């Protein structure tokens, strides 16, 4: 059984600006601030045999203010900086595109599970936003939210103070699952 950890990009792996109580996704490589403090934590997940999948909603592509080539440059840098990342899936759509992959829809998780052979109902979702927890619920993943202004009031499995606490929790839950 292969298990995945689906990690939201903005707010976990990079540090976006906050404007009017909203995270603002970077539009240019120069504004893309990678959170290198996560590197040893991703290594721990990897050492535990978990597949690390990054997911991100980037509706700026559909809306026309984010250039795909610039996004690719950011993601090249992200994967070079954090080589523990196995895959990175993007929803480039807007609400009005009615796609199956814009979180809180779970399409990116399903796509990655198919591609990597992951067992979704034993896999984990990490984010600082409610949309990921909602998508996790839809496909049976365990959701772990880092406390933030964006966790909402809908279902989530765990809220923890930071990514380090999330990783400890995942490793604990995974050990329990393997033992069961
Ligand atoms: Zn989409």
112 alpha carbon – ligand 1 mean position (Å): 14
Tell me the C-alpha distance between 179 and 26, whole Å.
42
Rg for the chain, CA atoms, rounded: 15
Nearest to 34 by CA among 89, 86, 93, 74: 74
pLDDT value at position 128? 98
- Helix 163-179 vs helix 39-47: crossing angle, to nearest 10: 0
User: 3-class SS at 50?
Assistant: coil
179 alpha carbon – ligand 1 mean position (Å): 36
Q: Are strands 51-57 and 87-91 parallel, antiparallel or unpaired?
A: parallel
User: 3-class SS at 36?
Assistant: helix
Q: How many CB atoms lie within 10 A of CB 141?
A: 28
- Element (DSSP H or E) covering residue 127: strand 124-127
pTM (global) more than 0.85: yes
70 alpha carbon – ligand 1 mean position (Å): 18
92 alpha carbon – ligand 1 mean position (Å): 6
Q: What is the pLDDT along the chain (180 residues), one digit of tens a residue?
A: 999 999 999 999 999 999 999 999 999 999 999 999 999 999 999 999 999 999 999 999 999 999 999 999 999 999 999 999 999 999 999 999 999 999 999 999 999 999 999 999 999 999 999 999 999 999 999 999 999 999 999 999 999 999 999 999 999 999 886 666
Edge-to-edge strands of the sheet including 51-57?
87-91, 51-57, 4-8, 124-127, 142-146, 158-160
């Amino acid at each position: 059984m292969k298990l995945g950890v689906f990690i939201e990009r903005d707010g976990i792996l990079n540090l976006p600006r906050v404007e009017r109580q909203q995270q603002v996704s970077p539009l240019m490589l120069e504004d893309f601030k990678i959170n290198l403090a996560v590197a040893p934590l991703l290594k721990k997940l990897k050492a535990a045999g978990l597949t690390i999948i990054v997911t991100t909603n980037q509706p700026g592509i559909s809306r026309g203010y984010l250039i795909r080539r610039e996004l690719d440059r950011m993601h090249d840098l992200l994967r070079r900086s954090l080589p523990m990342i196995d895959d990175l899936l993007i929803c480039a759509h807007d609400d009005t595109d009615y796609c199956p992959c814009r979180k809180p829809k779970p399409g990116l998780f399903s796509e990655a599970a198919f591609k990597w052979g992951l067992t979704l109902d034993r896999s984990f979702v990490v984010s600082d936003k409610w949309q990921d927890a909602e998508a996790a619920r839809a496909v049976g993943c365990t959701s772990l939210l880092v406390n933030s202004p964006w966790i909402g009031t809908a279902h989530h499995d765990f809220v923890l103070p930071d990514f380090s606490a999330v990783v400890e929790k995942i490793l604990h839950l995974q050990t329990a699952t393997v033992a069961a």
